[in-house]
Structure 1
């Protein structure tokens, strides 16, 4: 006999069919029918203390798994609270799915005083996501959600918002069998965990031959790898083994082992790296838009440029391509090159290191202390903090086992702590740390409650440089009297202990690694507060 349930079951059953194991979010008046069916579904729900935290956690979850992160909010303020997190996922091409209720059918835009009513909720989300989709009946949900997940593996992965009218969520639905991954697998995809690996367009044989010929005609080639190059990591490493230097964006950090003799690090923002791009006689840019957030400014047109991307709109942005190839970079780079002379690479590396050292400050020593004490496959959740973009990016040499979670494009504050939670929920066996400044920490410090409730063994390292130090420096450089940047500092270790976490003070950089290593085996998160010189009361 057919079972009559509500539309909330259609949402949950459809997520189960796509292999979803975790969702992040907060229940509210209009999404309760989803929560009716979660307990029996096998999906674990993680409740955060703010919807923005749920969005960042879903983003961190997606980055470490390669699959989709899912968040559930209520309507109105619930979903608008998550907008900054979704914009972060959009800027960095991260596949997240945000599900929220919407106004009842027939009431959109009517301004009737409905609880949580927005002028145009779907329009607001469509402005920051790849798309916002509204269904009009529960029977649409299985196919719509399957299409969203298939899209994550067959197009540039970016966040999608799904709006379900509250009367659809609460109305009757005759439960039916929901198809799983079969259709996706039959199309040649491996499911939602295959983002960046399979399913993208196939470059033509002529295009592959043209790329191979470009390498054959080069003496000083350079490969620039962005976040979209992760699926082609093996092919890029093969090129590096033949002497092709590899420079990465921050999102591409770790595509090649940064101790490789031809690795130039995630240093593309530095002037020396811009000169390297200009000096190369062939630049092959893979899976990157080469945007201002990557480069911290533009670069001059290189001698010859090949660009490979799944998004055709990326192929000439910021650096015009002489050869533009749309499709899966893994297939585009499946050829063998000659062995290149690498005698000049050490000079490139020295120039890049000299540039980085100008901003080294205490940031290099912090990375040295941590990387010496932590496992080789540690995930570092950073933030829009000096310790991340001056420190971790340049001075923590990643192996291919590491992963940096960093909000490159949108440059938001408050990302690191909830992203670390998402990463640890996704891969509990893997060491994960949070490492960011005190200014960033205070945007989402309430998520320490979430980590404590989950009993996650997370070292959360908060580097105290007195507030918004980078903005302070910019004010001084412009002749502006510093204001609103030197912040009152609460006793963060005491705050952590009041929450139920551990809280300790690091009195020197030298002990930081030891404290973080011990925190990896604790029975709850540990906030480690590092005071830099001059920041103590």
Structure 2
């Protein structure tokens, strides 16, 4: 066939653009970023999202309250290293999860919350639409890194990619994405799925690393302070501590970054006056991934006499509270690898001559080991009267658990006074605690999220009776999962911390003493098991059985026997 001049040949028809509803676009974008599980509760306005989750390979766990969904997704993120995802509906559901978002922000946890919002052209004047509120984005952006309200179906992929870019390249913080509810149901053309770039985090500037290395090499009394931001650098942190002969103290989020059975490990001890006094006298302090915050110190840190080196991915931390003498802004793992190499093996140039002149001397690391043991003993002496009631039970828990167990805890006396400093865990174990924001009710739903993420690992929740009852309905969720989940509750019939604070002020206790609840019977009502123990040996035996029994086992330790 010959083309006719001036006539355009027939062309193959252009393929129709891909059209997706907003709900499917959400599921597609999450799957493209490797999300395989979400936590949440279906509601009238988010059903289009739920319709597509299974199609895109996303499993779902349904807690009984959105706050529980947030804590479960938070724990899922902490144990996997990947962002946790929660789906809520509008209005009250989103506000229910706000406390968990605030906790994730405080603890630098990558948490993505997806919710519907009011329709695109919804008037500013209230109309009485179901779950209507003045502004969801204004509410959430005050507790999250950002709140992104999309204006088209195609923008959903952009918003999700933006969230994952933050998770991968900056200090992890929670993010909220709002999809107007009319967009969730509307089918619109969309482009190719967007994904966050696989950008790795860079270490600190080489010249800053060299400056820090020189300072550490000259240090006579070095110390390491490890926060949650040091978790990805556990190996080089240990190597550096050993090369420097430097004792290691951690924040709550840094618990077990360095095995707490290591002879240089002080564990979670920043609250100890003896340890604070010791830290203030160090000539060089290397603080990694920590805010050096009041929530870990329980007071202001005394002025440091020496130089402070800070390693943090967040530049703002270099000037917050305790200004860094040597700021190392960058990823902790990359920065510590470079710092270990720059420091090199520690051996003074005149060591051979010294040995020849005066004979072998006591190794510096042995002195550091003795110093660490002395400090731990001083820490324990300071609080022996208060903490002794929990120690035998914590020892029973520690000796029963596997080396890679996951323990979740609550903002309860038995946890921050007891388990954080005193519970000995294996080298590969994790301890998840709601630091900083200090929400109650974290332990049980967090344990569910951790167990959903790592069903092959032992997971145990530790709580007080007051905190447990903030989220006790999640026992129903744990029962449905049929996964072994022991919950150890130290029962002091109320809010023990606030009761003690009132007494210390000379106040008459008000609203802190509660009638005892038969927690064992309540656990059985939810379909689990309930046991009350009165001795550490009983706890060890019951815990061992609970670790292999499907479903939750609530183990109550009455305070008068703890």
RMSD: 1.6
Q: 1:229-268, aligned counterparts within 5 Å?
A: 229-242=230-243, 243-268=245-270
Alignment-derived partner of residue 222 in structure 1: 223
Q: 1:271 aligns with which of 270, 273, 276?
A: 273
Q: 1:13-24, aligned counterparts within 5 Å?
A: 13-24=28-39
Offset of 1:13 from its aligned partner?
Answer: 0.4
Mapped to 2, the partners of 1:124 and 1:337 lie a distance apart of 52
Offset of 1:399 from its aligned partner?
Answer: 3.3
SS at match of 2:386: coil
Offset of 1:3 from its aligned partner?
Answer: 5.3
Alignment-derived partner of residue 368 in structure 1: 395
SS at match of 2:44: coil
* Match status 1:212 vs 2:213: yes
Q: 1:73 aligns with which of 88, 91, 97?
A: 88
* Match status 1:331 vs 2:354: no
Q: In the superposition, relative to structure 1, how do residues 269 and 455 fare at CA in structure 2: closer, same or farther (>3 Å)?
A: same
Q: 1:386 aligns with which of 405, 413, 424?
A: 413
Mapped to 2, the partners of 1:23 and 1:479 lie a distance apart of 47
* Match status 1:51 vs 2:51: no
Q: In the superposition, relative to structure 1, how do residues 370 and 346 fare at CA in structure 2: closer, same or farther (>3 Å)?
A: closer
Deviations 1:357-403 (A, max 9, x none): 34313111111011111211111110001111111111112333111
Mapped to 2, the partners of 1:330 and 1:270 lie a distance apart of 28
Q: 1:112-123, aligned counterparts within 5 Å?
A: 112-123=127-138
Q: 2:75 aligns with which of 57, 60, 65?
A: 60
Q: In the superposition, relative to structure 1, how do residues 401 and 346 fare at CA in structure 2: closer, same or farther (>3 Å)?
A: same
Q: 1:457-496, aligned counterparts within 5 Å?
A: 457-496=484-523
Alignment-derived partner of residue 314 in structure 1: 317
* Match status 1:144 vs 2:162: no
**Which structure is larger by alpha-carbon Rg, 1 or 2?**
2
Q: 1:168-187, aligned counterparts within 5 Å?
A: 168-174=183-189, 177-179=192-194, 184-185=197-198, 187=199
Mapped to 2, the partners of 1:202 and 1:490 lie a distance apart of 52
Deviations 1:99-131 (A, max 9, x none): 000111122633222211111110000011111
Offset of 1:42 from its aligned partner?
Answer: 1.2
Mapped to 1, the partners of 2:18 and 2:203 lie a distance apart of 44
Name which of structure 1's ranges 284-293 and 508-517 shifts more when overlaid on structure 2: 508-517
Mapped to 2, the partners of 1:130 and 1:386 lie a distance apart of 30
Alignment-derived partner of residue 294 in structure 1: 296
Alignment-derived partner of residue 457 in structure 2: 430
Offset of 1:203 from its aligned partner?
Answer: 1.3
Q: 1:89-168, aligned counterparts within 5 Å?
A: 89-107=104-122, 109-168=124-183
TM score, norm. by length of structure 2? 0.90
Name which of structure 1's ranges 210-219 and 143-152 shifts more when overlaid on structure 2: 143-152
Q: 1:377-416, aligned counterparts within 5 Å?
A: 377-416=404-443
Mapped to 2, the partners of 1:376 and 1:300 lie a distance apart of 35
Mapped to 1, the partners of 2:269 and 2:302 lie a distance apart of 17
8 Å contact kept, 2:154–2:191: no
8 Å contact kept, 1:356–1:394: no
Alignment-derived partner of residue 29 in structure 1: 44
Alignment-derived partner of residue 191 in structure 1: none
Mapped to 2, the partners of 1:478 and 1:509 lie a distance apart of 33
Q: 2:474 aligns with which of 439, 447, 450?
A: 447
Offset of 1:487 from its aligned partner?
Answer: 0.7
Mapped to 1, the partners of 2:183 and 2:93 lie a distance apart of 18
Q: 1:348 aligns with which of 375, 381, 384?
A: 375
* Match status 1:357 vs 2:384: yes
Mapped to 1, the partners of 2:56 and 2:540 lie a distance apart of 40
* Match status 1:417 vs 2:432: no
> Unaligned 5+ residue runs, structure 2?
1-15, 348-362
Alignment-derived partner of residue 456 in structure 1: 483
Offset of 1:473 from its aligned partner?
Answer: 0.7
8 Å contact kept, 2:485–2:550: no
Alignment-derived partner of residue 200 in structure 1: 201
SS at match of 2:197: helix
TM score, norm. by length of structure 1? 0.94
Q: In the superposition, relative to structure 1, how do residues 428 and 108 fare at CA in structure 2: closer, same or farther (>3 Å)?
A: farther
Alignment-derived partner of residue 194 in structure 1: none
